Amino acid sequence: MTDVIWLPSPAKINLFLHICGQYPNGYHNLQTLFQLLDVGDEIGFAVHDRATIELKTPMAGVAEQDNLIIKAAKALQIHTGSNCGAAIFVKKHLPMGGGIGGGSSNAATVLLALNAFWKLNLPLTELMDIATTIGADVPVFIRGKTGFAEGIGEIITPMDIPEQWYLVANPGVHVSTPDIFQHPDLPRNTQMIKAHEYSFESTRNDCQNLVCNLQGKVAKLLQWLVHYAPSRMTGTGASVFAVFNNKHEAQNVLRQLPNEFKGFVAKGTQTSVLHTKLEDILRAS
């Protein structure tokens, strides 16, 4: 088999999430700040000239036709008419359903990698159009910049923020994003802000109270974490995060994390580690 080329598939957190309204089609008008992290899954690619897409490491509980990795690869094939294919491998480090972008990031890594390895040369704007059909969070990973997002998450403005460290922790429960967005108790009328008005202290996650009411373990984890640093749920959960100024402080709290929870420490990045790695590979080839 062709050598497998491994690429990072970075996590993200939502530093805030405001629900500002709902569109007639049921989607919500959101505002959020996507912070990319330097930690994530790993995806391997062995490309070939047969038009077959194979996921060599299936994910438990996810049917192949529902897997965003397969959806992304096939969407790129259909969009371009490419006859190239690939065997794809995944080393999963991020919790599924954790609100840190695992599946969306995987899809973006596939689109960016195969666009390069199949020599399609589509611009990022075109890849983002394909990404939007796969999932609302996929475009931010295609753009590869920490960014202020609006609409359903597809209108992204790159935004420089101070470099910080994050302890990201998961309570071991799964939160269904569709269930949260369809819930009658979800706030949907938060006033919109401008990107330059953002501060952590003046924003919140509009899904947090609802999820805490539905999932006691999320509430318990947040109550523990907030004693150490400013803390918040990311996305629709279930993961939460705390903000630190340095790696040492974050790792010190991670060592104290109760055994019932799992967590990791990551640095916020302005540019995706995937984009950096892919550029290095292409420059060397």
- Catalytic residue numbers read 12, 137
Q: Summarize the annotated binding site for ATP as residue ranges.
A: 95-105
> How far apart, in Å, are the Cα atoms of 77 and each of 157, 235, 269?
28, 30, 31
- In the annotated binding site, the residues are 95-105
Residue 203, C-beta contacts closer than 8 angstroms, at least 6 positions apart? 15, 16, 18, 33, 193
d(CA 241, CA 222): 8
